[in-house]
Structure 1
Amino acid sequence: MAPRQKRLLLALDGSDRGVQTVRYAGEEDAFKGMKIVLFHVFNSIPDAYYDLEKEPKSVKVVRHVRSWESQQKKNIRNYMENARQMLLDAGHAESAVEVKIQNRKKGVARDLIIEAHQGYDAVLIRRRGFTDLKNVTMGSVTNKLLEKLTFIPVLIAGRKPVNKKVLIAVDGSPCANRAVKFVADMLGPLGNYQVKLVHVVRSGFKPEMEALEENGVPEAEPVFKTAVDILKGAGLPPENISTQMITGVISRAGAIVNKAEKGGWGTIVVGRRGLSSVGDFFMGRVSNKVVHVGRKDTVWIVT
């Protein structure tokens, strides 16, 4: 029996930043072979508004609104078709790319969340859409999705060039191990990715007092052993796996982002929650900070 085809939900809002997300999806080899659904929630005019046509003074206004809505629908259909063509041009099969446009039902974020329940393996989004506010790290829809999509990996496309270098933050927690398993399932069969496992221990020492264990795979190191076994078991060559322990840093998130920056790691992978037992947090402090500190980074958040 053939394995089930993985499915990726790619949320688009019609913005130029959304086009960049599609470009990322086309360039990232990890998504080759997946079913990609390009999904847009259309903000249609409420039906109740058209009741105004019954009022003689409102007829012209309603006609104008109908014309505007019709044009917006045409624009988004063209936008989505262009997005689809970008993926086809990047090598995806026609049968593997689907366009889905639906009228808003409960709200953009909530409609996306409902769709994400329909058998997807991950959701791909961007930090911001139409907003151009310089100091805003993420848009309101993205924030809502990060808060509510606790049942599925959320992939946030960054602005850095795509490469085959993935940095995974591990701490020995079940969630971190699931993050490793997700990467293994996505990249293991490809075999041509470099993966670095990073374990950061925060302490009162100054950042420049880092103690590093660089390169190699220390099988005796418990925090790395399980992760290394998962990656190798999925087909990733041992020589493509490296580990590093970083100690003496003030911020674990800062150390992770800094390591990715200095090492040219194109993707950062974190578990949604680490070893913290605080159940009321929808995201752990480290994963949340990585998303905000690494503003240009591609970050995969795994539940």
Structure 2
Amino acid sequence: MSEEKKILVTLDGSKRSGRTVDYLCRFKPFRDRKITLFNITTPVPEAYYDLIRDSFSKIAVSQVNAWEMGRKTIMTEFLKEARRKMIAAGYKSDNIELKLTSLEKGVARDILNEIKTNEYHGLVIRRRGSSESMPGVTMGGVAAKLVEKASSLPLMIAGTHEIHHYLCIAVDGSPASGRAIHYTADMMAKTNCRILLCAIMRTTVTDSVPEGKDPFVDMSLQAKRILDEALAEAKQILTQAGIPEDRIETRLIQGAQSRAGALLDKARAAKCDTIVMGRKGVSDVEDFDLGRIPKKIIYASRKFTIWLIP
């Protein structure tokens, strides 16, 4: 991955994407990264231009042309204003690129193509955009497709919680969880952020329980040891990155009926603003691009910012 560590940010000119810009301005670690503000404009269907053959439709065609040019002008100004806000918030002007392209295959597919043809260190999106404002819908169509398919790089789903740089990291001992910890350590290195390392198990067991009498208890003890070791290793990785030890808290939650629910409850109680997870857990089923627990958390947490690490 490139040392420039570029982050792709999708914006559509809506009020919601304006809140994405606010998130970028408030989240201090991004200020040292190269940012590409990206928009895909939807052109007028080519069928409209067939009207030019009809002399009675020339006025309509000119109006359509004007609309298309006007839309590009509006989006260009929106991106420039976003850039101005980010510079005022502390970003270097040379680190912000504006990229405006026309729709080719579809919004989600064009974003995925942009990822494939360029080297990015992360993708920032919102749950819904300007055309996806149906009340009660948690995730818009484009966002849902990107959550499922943008599996090659870290995905950040910007939330609405006030940013206090307090991150809750789901720890389960899996390779994806380890990569999430390393990514967080890289992003938050030498900052005064707060980190909550949270591991969850369904059973309840203590180290004082004797082994060898009940296979179920033995399995629970082994699971607990794995999670304890994973929490200790995660804390070490973060402290080595320069995050003060007293800013890192570890929690092992036992007896959880729902691991996704328990993680959300703990993050809410601690007043974290961001939840960090690996895309897949311990099971790591190859046929699925997204694990069951991350999917539940994404759809149940409208206000949290979610980091999803491959």
User: Same fold judged by TM-score > 0.5?
Assistant: yes
Partner residue in 1 for 2:97? 98
Q: CA deviation at 1:238?
A: 1.7
Give the Å deviation of 1:226: 2.3
State the alpha-carbon separation in 2 of the partners of residues 91 and 144 from structure 1.
32
| Bigger CA radius of gyration | 2
- In structure 2, the CA distance between the partners of 1:166 and 1:53, relative to structure 1 (3 Å rule), is same
2:278 pairs with one of 271, 275, 284? 271
Partner of 2:8: 9
Per the alignment, residue 107 of structure 1 pairs with 106
* Partner of residue 210, structure 1: none
Paired residue type of 1:267: T
AA in 2 matched with 1:74: T
Structure 1 unaligned residues grouped into runs of 5+: 206-217
- Where 1:301 maps in the other structure, the secondary structure is strand
Aligned to 1:214: none
Partner of 2:32: 33
* CA displacement, residues 243-295 of structure 1 (integer Å, 9 cap, x when unaligned): 10111122111111111111111111011000114222211111111111111
Corresponding residue for residue 215 of structure 1: none
Bigger drift between 48-57 and 28-37 goes to 48-57
Give the equivalent residue in structure 1 for 2:265: 258
CA shift at 1:229, angstroms?
2.2
Q: TM-score, normalised by structure 2?
A: 0.88
The aligned amino acid for 1:263 is A
- Which residue pairs with 1:280 in the alignment? 287
- 1:179 paired residue number: 180
Which consecutive segments of 4 or more residues in structure 1 shift more than 4 A?
A: none
The aligned runs of 1:120-159 (5 Å cut-off) are 120-130=120-130, 131-159=132-160
Question: Match of 2:278, as an amino acid?
Answer: G
SS at match of 2:91: coil
Report the secondary structure of 1:245's partner residue: strand
* CA deviation after TM superposition for structure 1 residue 225, in Å: 2.5
Q: For 1:77 and 1:96, locate their aligned partners in 2 and report how far apart those are by CA, in whole Å.
A: 18
Percentage identity across paired residues of the two chains:
38
| 3-state SS of paired residue (1:114) | helix
Change (3 A) 1:88 1:48: same
1:61 equivalenced with 2:68 (yes/no): no
- Matched-pair contact (CA < 8 Å) for 2:228–2:252: no
Residue 163 of structure 2 corresponds to which residue in structure 1? 162
Indicate the larger mover: 42-51 or 78-87. 42-51
Residues 149 and 220 of structure 1: CA distance in aligned 2, closer, same or farther (over 3 Å): closer
Alpha-carbon distance between aligned partners in 2 of 1:92 and 1:266, rounded to the nearest angstrom: 22
> Contact 1:219/1:225 (CA < 8 Å) preserved in 2?
no
How far apart are the structure 2 equivalents of 1:193 and 1:219? 26
Tell whether the 8 Å contact from 1:199 to 1:245 is kept in structure 2 after alignment. yes
